[in-house]
Structure 1
């Protein structure tokens, strides 16, 4: 795959996974670094350098975002506990048996030329041309692979910063306090619901928390106006 095909492939996967701004920034940052390295298969990057370049303040935020990209099949990485340098690779759907440098167009004739003449007739039928799918859509086998990986995707608990960022748009006057209460409640019970079922989408739970809180406040506000004698036509007993 060349640079443009990798970008198109990312946005197709994004439609299924709804990556966060942090995850999007990390993927395109790694693309840029790999491009600077002339698209070698494995390249290293320091954790502190990535966090400084992208303005990521929490180490766990970087690790969670990196793990989601790996689960989606966009990148792979290897790390050692004592080494701040992580080895990355940009995954590709190209056939591993065909050694093609990223960004280089290879024709069917070029593939046939690479086969020795005495064995050409024997191996000709085993070589398949690499044909881009119409309208930059994924190859059929790649699409089925994504479906299976999506079904196996594990829930990644959010960090407190993610929750507070979500609650900041809720219009609640005490959104920060509510965000901390929400995080403390579900984090203390291992991100499981009251029935013991594992949480799969914490955003939906946060939306329900915010909506319930607004309903309770509205009911309290309405009740206080109803019970206030001054809100009626006169004091009671008059």
Structure 2
């Protein structure tokens, strides 16, 4: 079915039909969009909320009036389900052929046997699932939306994994950049000066741990460096002060009774 010829035939038909108003046309085009997504197979499964949103109809009464009149005027066949968890069925007629073929299609749909109608309803039921749905109907539009959501989730997970991989690679890159080292030391409440001391020390020995083993993780070495620095500072402070009083080195203390005649 050529949808361009169909729409051309539809507009040729409504041009002479004074019974239609813009709301009828808007609703029909919304139905046509669902028909298009269903590859022009009849019937299509619809829900009131989806059709009202797509056709920009805000009143329930207007929607029901228009869809019933579209059926009365010969544009569609509407089969309501009267079930909030099951979509209603709609058959659309083709307008891209001659009027005789068009009337034949209308008669063929109207003369469907009871068994064919049951088979169509069973096919829709199988497509939509036997359990209660969270939304009134499951159709091509919903499937496309679900696929897009899944693709977005996969993309988000892929981006998060890339960020973790980049962070891991940054930690094991030897030698690191001096700016990365400075930033890491600042995050640990240290100073840029201490970061430069760390960087210059390991840069001079080829980034070896203990002068022997090649460093695998500079962040771990930086943490050990900071621990040793704090330990050294605490030891120095405890030897220079006692009870809050600064102690002078013994070799600098001079006594008044020292004899300068003694040999050194």
- TM-score normalised to the size of structure 1? 0.38
Specify which structure has the bigger relative contact order, considering alpha-carbon pairs within 8 angstroms and separated by 6 or more residues.
1
TM-score, length of structure 2 as denominator length: 0.35
Larger-gyration structure (1/2): 2
